[in-house]
């Protein structure tokens, strides 16, 4: 069984601590500061075996070298980004698998936010660790890749089973929801979700994990083919890619 502990850090980041109860192996996804990870490991009596990095940004790899020095763990990341991931030991690409004890994680290339972004999908526990590619009600900014790359990356994630739990790396849901409502106001499921998100955040409860099914119903970046969204932004006859590109530009400028 895979246990997942959410560790909130910095202003709005989430680190995920993964524990395979059968093998007692432990991994951490995208650690920025080291201390919260070390504190959680000590609390549980776990030994860190791996760091799973989704991409090279400092708020995802900042603790790599400190944790490696303290625990002698192996660092896993994208072969494309190997020069930018501190301490990397295992270099991965689309179709590769990485093991955490009895748990198998499929590696999916998802360029867009960065050119070397990857995500980790655990089919056995229906869990996706997607860094900054997919957010709850949103998607990552296009810092290095193109809109076409990001749209293709999102298609891979849209195709995962709807019950897949989505562990994204930031608490952006409330802000994303405001933008989503601006382009998809007729969506009653979205309206209900925004209300639920506000209630959770008032209690400082994470809105993560979300699910692929929930994103298919409410995330405009998963719904560039939706008739209402296309009509609302005046792009009824445009391609899905063109609609996605426009949505991403609109979100970048949304206040």
- Catalytic annotation present for 55: yes
- Catalytic annotation present for 57: yes
Catalytic site residue from 56, 113, 117, 184: 113
- Catalytic annotation present for 60: yes
Task: Tokens 């075996």: give the residue.
Answer: 49
Catalytic site residue from 20, 59, 81, 109: 59
- Catalytic annotation present for 113: yes
- Catalytic annotation present for 225: no
Task: Tokens 């608490």: give the residue.
Answer: 171
In DSSP terms, 2 is beta-bridged to: 20
Catalytic site residue from 20, 30, 56, 60: 60
Catalytic site residue from 20, 109, 132, 184: 132
- Catalytic annotation present for 44: no
The torsion defined by the Cα of 227, 230, 236 and 240, in degrees rounded to 10, comes to: -90
Catalytic site residue from 20, 30, 56, 57: 57
- Give the whole-angstrom CA distance, residue 238 versus residue 131: 29
CA 237 to chain centre: 31
Catalytic site residue from 55, 56, 109, 117: 55
Contacts of 56 (CB under 8 A, 6+ apart): 77, 81, 84, 85, 114, 116
Question: Which of the residues are catalytic?
Answer: 55, 57, 59-60, 113, 132, 170
């Amino acid at each position: 069984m895979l246990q997942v502990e959410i560790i909130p850090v910095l202003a709005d980041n989430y680190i995920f601590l993964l524990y395979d109860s059968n093998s007692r192996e432990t991994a951490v996804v995208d650690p920025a500061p080291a201390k919260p990870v070390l504190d959680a490991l000590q609390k549980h009596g776990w030994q860190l075996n791996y760091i799973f990095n989704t991409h090279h940004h400092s708020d995802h790899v900042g603790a790599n070298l400190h944790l490696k020095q303290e625990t002698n763990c192996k660092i896993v990341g994208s072969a494309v980004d190997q020069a930018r991931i501190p301490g990397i030991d295992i270099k991965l690409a689309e179709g590769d698998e990485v093991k955490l004890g009895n748990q198998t994680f499929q590696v999916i290339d998802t360029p867009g936010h960065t050119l070397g972004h990857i995500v980790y999908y655990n089919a056995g526990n229906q869990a996706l660790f997607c860094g900054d590619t997919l957010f709850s009600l949103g998607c990552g900014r296009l810092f290095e890749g193109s809109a076409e790359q990001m749209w293709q990356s999102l298609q891979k994630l849209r195709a995962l089973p709807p019950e897949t739990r989505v562990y994204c790396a930031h608490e952006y849901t409330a802000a994303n929801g405001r933008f989503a409502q601006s382009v998809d106001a007729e969506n009653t499921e979205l309206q209900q979700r925004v209300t639920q998100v506000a209630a959770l955040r008032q209690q400082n409860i994470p809105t993560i994990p979300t699910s692929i099914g929930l994103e298919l119903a409410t995330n405009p970046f998963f719904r560039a083919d939706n008739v209402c969204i296309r009509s609302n932004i005046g792009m009824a006859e445009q391609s899905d890619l063109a609609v996605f590109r426009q949505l991403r530009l609109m979100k970048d400028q949304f206040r």
